Structure 1
Amino acid sequence: MNAQAENWDDLRVFLAVARSGTLSGAARILGVNHSTVFRRVGAFEDALGVRLFERVPSGYLLTPAGEEMREAALRVEEEVAAIGRKVRGQDLRLSGSLRITTIDMLALWLLPRHLTRFRTDYPGIELEVSVSNAALNLTKREADVALRIGNSPPETLVGRRVGRLVFAVYGAREYRLRRPDAELESHDWIGFDSEHAALARRFAEFLPGVQPAYRVNSVAAAMGAAMAGMGLAPLPCGIADREEKLERICDLPASFSLDLWLLTHEDLRRTARIRAFLDFVAEALAGEAELLEGRKPEAWREV
């Protein structure tokens, strides 16, 4: 068993270098230092009696033997992850760690009040939140649960739609005072880049020919810019309606609305702490449907 664990650990180091192409990148992935990765790669190659990487000025490139090793290592990685998911899926304890991945705006403005109540109800469950616009791989257990926006969740995951985010146009009061009578087309706009391609496309359909003066890859950053008075921005009502610095300028077409999904992997859905979290958050967000859908905005300032 110890030999098998060591072999898998060698493969983990090998895959980290293969993916990043550098020792420093692999060290960041693994959470170790540069010299440890260098030593482990050299020892692994010595044990195998073959060079897996070519050392070049730009980093580490796979040799033909390394390419074959990568394919085998990826299969082993998937098997190890599958075993871990199946074992963890039998865990009936309402304790232990739970890793949640979500995007910045949900982590900043939506989840905290619900996570606080969840921790009160389940003090034995330790929460870790990974904030990322990129979807972490739940199949490889980079996270246990994902809270995401979008109208088509991955088919490899299971879960439920737990709400709908309706968007509207918002601006800071100070900005409105500077531009009280301007038509929508002549305002300064805060828009989104390719990481939010769906929102960027819908904005182009809403105001054809209008180019945002400021683009961001984060809804949270767009909200911060709007609060600072940089211009108008399409923002989710469930977040922007709670900010006193912002005023809702006008509604947006229904095409801007995005579903809110709570997702996990099939093998983990019966794990007690994950099941408890899914049920808790689904119920909490269902109780905020009016907020998320932008109804009665003034009533939510003190929520």
Structure 2
Amino acid sequence: MHNWNWDDLRYVAALADTGTIAEAARRLNVNRTTVQRRISAFEEQLQYRLFSRDGWGLTPLPEATPFLEAARQIDESLSAIERKMSGASGDVSGDLTFTTTNSMYIAQIAELVSRFQSAHPGILLHINLTSSTLNVSQREAEVAIRPSMAPPEHLAGRRICDVTFGLYASWEYAARFRSHSPAEHDWIGYTDSFEGTPANEWISNNVPRNRVRMRADNYVAIAEAARWGSGIAVLPRAFGDQHDGLKRIEGMLDERISTGLWMLTHPDLRQSPRVRAFMDFMSHGLSDVRKVFDC
């Protein structure tokens, strides 16, 4: 039987993830000497090295693989326990982190958040605006509100409504708009992070590649590029219609571009009073303004 200190696995995992003693110490909130001592003692106990040392840092050797896998399994198990404990609390108070895209936040969610805070002053909201998918399982976010065709199956939640897209350009560009052929216009496209989305698929299927003058990874940047005359943008109508610098272009779309707007959380958290209060409030609020999104 081994007599390892399982806490040593945290040090192994942190060093493998960061590659340097200094970064591992920062992540673990200890000093560098502690990291060096714990790793050296663990390697001495095993009687073989887990990391190669070179001038660029420390690289995990194949011998470290089973320890890294065990460390990550333990971390996931502890995260699951934390989620269940959070769900057991009966107080509608405490911190709550949610994520959405910047365009959805600007379109309607910011107002609903303000109303939620008035209704639940005991909850401190932490807002992450990003087009990337935060890891709800690892508590990077407890609730996600975002457009999606097919959200991850391991998350629980509800489809609020559809998000319909339109074509937008600056007022100056729209004033000289004549042709309804996509090939005769400049366009602002999406980066690879939008691959598979309806808006990106429409551009790929209808716009010649040489007419895409710019690409961006979020709707706000795309809208600003369109506002300054870089071309036509495909944007959610809830966002584009309220942008003072943009005018919707009609007559070019021969199909409806839309996706779902989902509110999601981890199954272990859906009965948490904090999470349930937020999701119920936002669900009702978004349902009341669904025509703004699905117009």
Task: Spell out, residue by residue over 1:218-273, the C-alpha distance to the aligned partner (whole angstroms, 9 max, x if none).
Answer: 12211121122221100000111111221110264556211011000111000001
Number of residues paired by the alignment?
Answer: 284
1:227 matched to 2:227? The reply is yes
1:173-192 correspondence to structure 2 within 5 Å: 173-177=171-175, 179-183=176-180, 184-192=182-190
The alpha-carbon distance between structure 1 residues 176 and 148, as it changes in their structure 2 partners (threshold 3 A), is same
The alpha-carbon distance between structure 1 residues 176 and 149, as it changes in their structure 2 partners (threshold 3 A), is same
SS of residue in 1 equivalent to 2:250: strand
How far 1:150 sits from its partner (Å)? 1.0
Tell me if structure 2 keeps the 8 A contact 1:13–1:37.
no
1:1-80 correspondence to structure 2 within 5 Å: 8=7, 11-22=9-20, 30=27, 36=30, 38-50=32-44, 51-80=49-78
What is the distance in 2 between the residues matched to 1:52 and 1:263? 39
What is the distance in 2 between the residues matched to 1:69 and 1:31? 17
How far 1:26 sits from its partner (Å)? 5.1
SS of residue in 1 equivalent to 2:211: coil
What TM-score do the two structures reach when normalised by structure 1? 0.85
What TM-score do the two structures reach when normalised by structure 2? 0.87
Q: Which runs of 5+ in 1 are unaligned?
A: 1-5, 295-303
What is the distance in 1 between the residues matched to 2:242 and 2:126? 25
Q: Which runs of 5+ in 2 are unaligned?
A: none
What is the distance in 1 between the residues matched to 2:260 and 2:22? 38
Identity of aligned residues (%): 33
Tell me if structure 2 keeps the 8 A contact 1:159–1:264.
yes
The alpha-carbon distance between structure 1 residues 12 and 135, as it changes in their structure 2 partners (threshold 3 A), is farther
Task: Spell out, residue by residue over 1:269-299, the C-alpha distance to the aligned partner (whole angstroms, 9 max, x if none).
Answer: 00001001001111111111111013xxxxx
Q: 1:134 aligns with which of 132, 135, 138?
A: 132
The alpha-carbon distance between structure 1 residues 49 and 31, as it changes in their structure 2 partners (threshold 3 A), is closer
How far 1:85 sits from its partner (Å)? 1.0
Tell me if structure 1 keeps the 8 A contact 2:24–2:35.
no
1:126-275 correspondence to structure 2 within 5 Å: 126-177=124-175, 179-183=176-180, 184-197=182-195, 198=197, 199-207=199-207, 211-250=211-250, 252=253, 254=255, 256-275=257-276
SS of residue in 2 equivalent to 1:110: helix
How far 1:190 sits from its partner (Å)? 0.5
Q: Counterpart in 2 of 1:97?
A: 95
Tell me if structure 2 keeps the 8 A contact 1:175–1:229.
yes
SS of residue in 2 equivalent to 1:166: strand
RMSD (Å), alpha carbons: 2.5
